[in-house]
Structure 1
Amino acid sequence: MPIYEAVCLKCGKYHDYIRSVSQCMDTPECCGQKTDKRILSKPMARMDMQPWDAYESPATGRVITSYAERREDMKAAGCRDWEGMESEKHNATRQKQYQEAEEDKQLDSAVRQAWANLSPSKKAQALAEAS
């Protein structure tokens, strides 16, 4: 939903408000009444990279000339944007948990396969030793 701006004509205070396009005239209240004047503000947009912003990817060596190429390059190289130390530590912990879960799954599978391949006499012997 778009963000709109309105100004109170009594006190001069500016208000940002979020509404659907069909409700853009539903302005916020200020000084006991709805704000009368809507302001046309520039939309927030992210333009594509300019030619002088092109760079060589440190991960793959490809020349990156657009944000779409950057996303694809980062995805192909298994990279992601830096989001700050706290976020990086959280992500590292999460990745470690995923790796440990995968290792546990592989170990469980190997143990189950080894048990299934044992002869009945060896299974009985192992169960007797465990008791």
Structure 2
Amino acid sequence: MPQAPDHLMKETLYMKIIHLLDRHRTWLEIESIATVRNHTIVRNGRMTDILSRVLVVKAIHHHFPYTRGQVWQIAEYDLEQAIKSLRTTDGAFRQRIIKGELTLEDVERIISTATHGVVQPDLSPLPLFTCYTYYDK
């Protein structure tokens, strides 16, 4: 199964998204950042399976219409496609991506676009300080 190195985002950008999502979460919690799964994409008009890293998030609180415990798997490929889409339509977003200075609104837009509007993270402007993070589990 081919991996898609031409479609993988920079590690620093991926970790910045993870860090902001983890520190400013309200109803979502990161379950895994390194799960690898098959992901089907359309390439050159054909369906192709690739191995893609998957960001796994879980609802830790009821957030209408989602119940506590619901899980979403967001492929890195979809995150990258969301970033490409937002980069072409928003010049300020493009400049922040280049500089590596993502805002909370940027992360919310990336996640929302990657999930076709299904997951709206609703990040808090105040960081969450906990005794553990996603990588301590």
Give the TM interval when normalised to the shorter protein: under 0.3
TM-score of the aligned structures, taking structure 1 as reference length? 0.20
Larger-gyration structure (1/2): 1
Which structure shows the higher helix fraction? 1
Structure with greater contact order relative to length (CA < 8 Å, sep ≥ 6): 2
Q: TM-score, normalised by structure 2?
A: 0.19
